[in-house]
Structure 1
Amino acid sequence: MAPKAAVLVPCLLSLLLPFSSLALTQDICVANLLLPDTPSGYPCKPKPAVTADDFHSMALAQAGPTLAPFNTGLATATVKQFPGVNGLGLAATRVDVHVGGVVPLHSHPEGSELLFVFKGSMTAGFISAESNEVYVKEVREGELFVFPQGLLHFQYNTGNETAVGFAAYSSDNPGLQITDYALFGNTLTAEDAREQGHLRRKIGGDEAQGLLRIAEILKLIKVFFGLSAVPPDGRQDYRCSLLWTCGV
């Protein structure tokens, strides 16, 4: 068994080499952002052009711009803002959740997240993909909370001061998909849904009216998130999403 294992292990490792990060084949590989990204990271910046500034960032020194309608500021230090982390499997963000603010339901397809609450407190949680169980916890100043890779998660602030958190990721480009926008800010139009309903009426089936109803709901929801025109009643307050209750 031992001789076979001695042959098998190097063979398996060789299969991983084409997918290994460029940074693993040399001591540093600062991202050359002028070239396109690849599955193994950005190509390396020429060594003579690398300076200490490539390994330093002030991206998280101040709060990022506040994102409406979530009342939350976000600053990022992924490979696109911080070329020195290219291929190192890490990145960071800063989140300033103002009073009543939320970090909406979202996921990071390419990395896990470790949240450290630097100031105040916030409620954090994620949804298990296997059982749809929700794990929620109030995270206070100095405490940690982890979000497993790819799982839907969120934070919100019900306190009386801005909560500040710093997050580290297990990828230099963890990706971001906000569920609200993925569902209601996509390129599926009400006309597409109506056409499907028209076809189903021709074929037959009880789902036609449901599809037409979905088309109308899509219109209303896009208005609700500020993704289209102001609704007929003139409502301007987009801070309340379907996931959070106004006035709580």
Structure 2
Amino acid sequence: MAIRFLVALFMLTSIYSLASASDPSPLQDFCVAVNDSQAPVFVNGKICKNPNQVRADDFFFSGLNKPGNTDNAVGSSVTPVNVNQIPGLNTLGISLVRIDYAPYGQNPPHTHPRATEILVLVEGTLSVGFVTSNPADPNQKNKLFTKTLYKGDVFVFPEGLIHFQFNTGKTNAVAFAGLSSQNPGVITIANAVFGSEPPISIDVLKKAFQVDENVIKSLQEPFNN
């Protein structure tokens, strides 16, 4: 597993060294982020730490070799390594995640509003896919691109599009993914639509999904407990 872990990180690092980041390009060597609670103003990103106070630990994270806890409703766990874990990622336009999947677990349909994602599978089997945005022709449907991944396979999810991963095997699966933002964000579709606070009006959801009120209530219930 250690060798697979290192290979995955090498692949992702190599790819991103050749790619253009979606976040603004840095104008200095680094801009280590200041903790939000200590920031005197709010900006689109993070305020820079005094370079004279920067240390090696500002560019370091430990623990990505440890599996996440998949004992939950969806059977997966995402371990992020973004600007909140490594302040030195600020302005560099990249981040990383480890995703663990229990047998038949999934990373449910979601989007990253600020990043493209490139995923490499290092253990197990995954069914993955993404759906295109609404087509210009109202007579056409959103198109699904889907693929079954095996150990060593790589798949790309374009920025902002709804995508998912599902463990189709009877054993655990592990993947690592690079994202083209220091803070890519995530919107899990079911959580956002059925578990928002305050809740979206049932009348709105009934019309949007073309279902009975009781169906909407049953879909909202797991997210409101």
- Gaps spanning 5+ residues in structure 2: where? 1-22, 136-141
1:130 CA displacement: 4.0
Aligned CA-pair RMSD: 2.3
Paired residue for 1:233?
none
1:136 CA displacement: 0.6
**Which is greater in Rg?**
1
The whole-number CA distance in structure 1 between the counterparts of 2:224 and 2:111 is 24
1:120 CA displacement: 1.6
TM-score (norm 2): 0.77
Which of 59, 83, 86 is matched with 2:87 structurally? Answer: 83
CA gap 1:148/1:37 in 2 versus in 1, 3 angstroms: farther
1:183 CA displacement: 1.0
Paired residue for 1:116?
120
Count of aligned residue pairs for this structure pair: 190
1:54-73 CA deviation, whole Å, 9 max, x = no partner?
Answer: 11111422123336211112
The whole-number CA distance in structure 1 between the counterparts of 2:75 and 2:160 is 24
Q: Does 1:150 align with 2:160?
A: yes
The whole-number CA distance in structure 1 between the counterparts of 2:32 and 2:168 is 40
Q: Does 1:106 align with 2:102?
A: no
The whole-number CA distance in structure 1 between the counterparts of 2:49 and 2:80 is 21
Q: Is the partner of 1:24 in helix, strand or coil?
A: coil
CA contact (8 A) 1:108 1:177 kept: yes
CA gap 1:163/1:193 in 2 versus in 1, 3 angstroms: closer
Q: Does 1:29 align with 2:34?
A: no
Q: Which amino acid aligns with 1:50?
A: V
Paired residue for 2:224?
228
1:106 CA displacement: 0.1
Paired residue for 1:61?
65
CA gap 1:67/1:80 in 2 versus in 1, 3 angstroms: farther
The whole-number CA distance in structure 1 between the counterparts of 2:197 and 2:147 is 35
Q: Does 1:181 align with 2:191?
A: yes
Higher RCO (C-alpha 8 Å, min separation 6): 2
The whole-number CA distance in structure 1 between the counterparts of 2:172 and 2:51 is 42
1:140 CA displacement: 1.1
The percent of aligned pairs where both chains have the same amino acid is 33
CA contact (8 A) 1:67 1:74 kept: no
CA contact (8 A) 2:195 2:224 kept: no
Q: Does 1:38 align with 2:43?
A: yes
The whole-number CA distance in structure 2 between the counterparts of 1:37 and 1:103 is 32
